[in-house]
Amino acid sequence: MEYILVIDDDETFNGVLVRALSRRGLQAAGATDSAMALSMARQQPPARVVLDLNLSGASGLALIEPLLAISPDCRIVVLTGYASITTAVHAIKLGAIQYLAKPVEVDAIIAAFDASAQPDVEELPEVEPLSVNRLEWEHIQRVLHEHDGNISATARALKMHRRTLQRKLSKRPVKA
């Protein structure tokens, strides 16, 4: 049976997306790292893949070619919190059918799979880069998650005073 393989190192996001796809009547499974993703793809070749651009500091784009070798007709949609024209073009050239910036609605992901034609690399829409403040917020959140919410460990990893980090965290997320 055809299914969607969700590859994202954020276990919470991965689980939420798999459940959301399942609620829409689609069979979905999640992998949180490259090795797990390739193992799952070999066991049951996916028809569709949702691939995070950043997998624990490594590029998710490195998985596109091996996934297409396992399942040549697989349709891959790349998701990222750090959208750029350069990575969008690279993802499409490697074989992804779409490139979406997070946050993204589940219906938009499903619609991206159902797009009839592969996007023309020359006609990719301009992707608005994230502001420096938003990039900082996203980075802090990622490092905080890596340290299981431990403020002191996160502050040490960021080489930042704990109180400064607490002040930044007490503010609302910055708009893109």
pTM, rounded to two decimals: 0.65
Handedness of CA 99, 101, 106, 107 (dihedral sign): negative
Which tokens hold the place of 54? Answer: 């950043």
In this prediction, residue 92 has a pLDDT band, given cuts at 50, 70 and 90, of: confident
Range of the structural domain that residue 44 is part of:
4-123
pLDDT of residue 176 exceeding 60? no
Please name the helix (run of DSSP H) or strand (run of DSSP E) that holds residue 172, with its range, or none.
none
pLDDT of residue 156 exceeding 90? yes
Report the candidate in 13, 128, 12, 25 with the shortest Cα–Cα distance to residue 4.
25
Count of domains observed in the chain: 2
Same domain, 110 and 155: no
Report the candidate in 89, 81, 171, 59 with the shortest Cα–Cα distance to residue 135.
81
Same domain, 119 and 136: no
- Per-residue pLDDT reduced to its tens digit, 114-140: 765 444 444 444 455 667 777 787 788
pLDDT of residue 113: 84
Same domain, 147 and 113: no
Same domain, 35 and 108: yes
Q: Which CATH number goes with the domain that contains 9?
A: 3.40.50.2300
